[in-house]
Amino acid sequence: MAGEPAYISADDWRAVVKKDRRSDGKFVYAAITTRIYCRPSCPARNPHRRNTLIFLTTTQAERQGYVSCARCHPNSLTPAEKSVMAALDYIEAHLDQAITLNTLSQVSGLSPHHLQETFKRIIGLSPKSFCDARRVARFKQLLRAGQSISNACYEVGFGSSRALYEKTRKGLGMTPAVYRHGGEGIHVFYAIAHSALGSALVASTEQGVCSVLLGESDAVLIRELRQEFPAAALRRAPSAKWKAMQACQDQDPLLLKLPVSLQGRVFLARIWNYLQ
């Protein structure tokens, strides 16, 4: 079917009937009667199967004279996807400030409730959970760079030491002071699995998750873990202990359009949240 249209298969037709968003990006379907092509998840009424062709790319569909659907925007981002992108960009740029659902609503152009539901459906986390995960990651980065606990606390928008300890109690797996000293006296257990974005490492202590890393290889990840916890005792745990990587593998098609670095941050935030 390289470049040539074909009548839609039974499996792909089921995805269209179910309006399965997970199939977006894998193919587009075109209605012979209207000369319009759509995403599998298009909310518009489906054409008859006998009048439906399938193309692997939007370019192929347009070469055959079909035009993009104005409802599902198969050749670009949908309005909902653009809203989520705007919210993601705002969060990344304003971690040092208070970020409320109302603020993100104004940035995205969606009502607070609609944004909450859309963000969670696409990203796999609520806006608040994503903010929390990104703040903890940034807080750890600042401590490793030598900043004091109090300065790092305010620079990532925690606002108070009480908020800091509430948010990082499970996200550090140790107190901020022990983390700042490289995990001195702590036993860190880690497991490595493989994901679509590369090798993923999850490390924990008896108090909770202390690190989630992505890298090109097991050796690179272990080296990064040793750099993060130079004073801790590291022990490898059976990979079977960690279900988080498998549970967080499913990705919304929008995530595949994000920069790889942002895809990684979303993936790590989802694992971190899952393990909480």
User: What confidence tens digit (pLDDT) does each residue in 83-122 have?
Assistant: 999 999 999 999 988 899 999 999 999 999 999 999 998 8
Map out the domains of the chain with their CATH numbers: 6-68 (3.40.10.10), 82-275 (1.10.10.60)
Nearest Cα to 203, choosing from 231, 230, 234, 178?
Answer: 234
CA dihedral 108, 259, 74, 62 (to 10 degrees): 140
Of 69, 131, 153, 248, which is the active-site residue? 69
The verdict on whether 248 is a catalytic residue reads no
pLDDT at residue 239, as a whole number: 63
CA distances, 163 to each of 101, 184, 239, 256 (Å): 18, 24, 33, 33
pLDDT at residue 182, as a whole number: 94
Structure tokens at 7: 């009548």
Structure tokens at 89: 């960009």
The verdict on whether 153 is a catalytic residue reads no
Nearest Cα to 208, choosing from 250, 248, 244, 249?
Answer: 244
pLDDT at residue 1, as a whole number: 45
The verdict on whether 38 is a catalytic residue reads yes
Mean pLDDT taken over the chain: 87
The verdict on whether 131 is a catalytic residue reads no
Residues 239-271: tens digit of each pLDDT: 655 566 666 666 777 777 778 788 888 888 888
d(C-alpha 86, C-alpha 105), whole Å: 10
d(C-alpha 231, C-alpha 219), whole Å: 19
